[in-house]
A and B are shown apart, each in its own frame.
Chain A
Amino acid sequence: MTEAAVWEALAEIADPEIPVISLVDLGVVKAVEVEDDRVRIEFTPTFMGCPALEVMQRQMEEAVTALGGEPQVDVLLDDSWSTDKITADGREKLRAAGFAPPAPRAESAPTLLQLQKPVHRCPYCGSTETRLDNLFGPTPCRSVRYCASCRQPFEQFKTI
């Protein structure tokens, strides 16, 4: 078994909550190491209270088992994941599915002033005439915005 084969298998696993992107698109697989049949995956969780994390872990184990490997998924509670880890492909898939991808993370944390500025683009019509409706949304990773141009509420990935 090769590391490339494992990466390929992981790229087939859909995010349990946003199935348009894969775990590899989401950037949560930090490393894959293969030694004979043993496969070690370093997994960096997204939001700490996200209920999808355990599902992701199980799916990765199942994918390795299906390849005939013996999985070990190490959950890294370090600070290495941020929304900047979502791949360019992943961002485009999010946008196409109606989720505005996260703004790139600046040196300092987001501020209210930034979030309230009408620079955030509507994933449906592309307009930046959008306003923040709620910092929080249906899952920990999303805020809710409203597009004044196409009169459509939409979900905006938080930048963390």
Chain B
Amino acid sequence: MISERAQLLLNLADDELILGWRNSEWTGIAPFLEEDVAFSSIAQNEIGHARALYERAARDLGGDADSIAFDREPEEYRCAPLVQLRLVPDWARTIARHVLYETADAIRIERLKQHDDGELAGIAAKIEREEVYHRLHAEMWLERLREEERYTDAVEELWPYALGVLEPGLRPVLAERVGHEEVDAVERTAPGAEFVALWEEMTMVRRSAPVGAQW
């Protein structure tokens, strides 16, 4: 049984790592070049956040950031179902996830900035400085797509998943900010088939080398 603090760190870090991974799937195939740059950069930030959070979690759990990121079995990951979904090549659903995730993430980062553990609060504040730019990027796309049917359908579809990013106590805040009714959330349970396929690829190189290999 791991501590509540370690679990909080892992939920957040797994979300950021896997979303970073999903965002990076757009590198080279985004609808235009500037979005290749944007999604790649956002992916890099998210994975950087995951690294810092795993490093902090490693002090409670042992190991290091890499071993926590890559050496767990698929069923040990705690990422929210929202970030697990493979959405390429659907841009409307990708932007819907981007807008919903960044809105939800802002709420939990605000909360984490108030954490009693000053170090956790500090990491959260540092993450927030970068997340601002993700939200501005999401905001620009929301302005462009908000009336488009494909986009609004995608938001409807992903809304229960978005609620699942947050602990139940914070969900009403998300419902208010998004302007949607709270419904049953898609909760963090054992990862699904899409995640397992991602995990196979993500850990492939690491698993091909002996434990403790130096790179």
Contacts and interface: CB of A to CB of B under 8 A. Distances in A.
Contacts of B56: 77
Interface size class of B (residues with CB under 8 A): 20 to 34
Given A135-B136, A136-B37, A79 B48 contact: no
A143 to B, nearest CB: 8
A109 B132 contact: yes
Contacts of B51: 48-49
A70 interface: no
20 contacts: A47-B45, A48-B127, A48-B130, A49-B48, A77-B55, A77-B56, A77-B119, A77-B123, A78-B122, A109-B128, A111-B136, A112-B136, A133-B34, A134-B37, A135-B137, A136-B137, A140-B44, A140-B45, A140-B48, A140-B130
B165 interface: no
Interface string A108-144: 0111100100000000000000000111111110001
B41 interface: yes
Nearest to A50: B48
A86 to B, nearest CB: 14
Contact of B129 (A50, A82, A133, A139): A82
A49 B130 CA distance: 10
B187 interface: no
A91 B80 CA distance: 41
B96 to A, nearest CB: 19
B153 to A, nearest CB: 26
B49 to A, nearest CB: 6
A104 to B, nearest CB: 14
B124 to A, nearest CB: 8
The DSSP consensus for interface residues of chain A is loop
A158 interface: yes
6 residue pairs, one from A and one from B, having the closest CB atoms: A49-B48, A48-B48, A79-B125, A78-B122, A136-B41, A160-B129
Contact of B140 (A112, A137, A140): A112
Contact of B133 (A49, A78, A81, A158): A158
B48 A110 contact: no
Contacts of B55: 77
B12 interface: no
Contacts of A137: 37, 41
Interface centre among B40, B46, B128, B136 (most CB of A within 10 A): B136
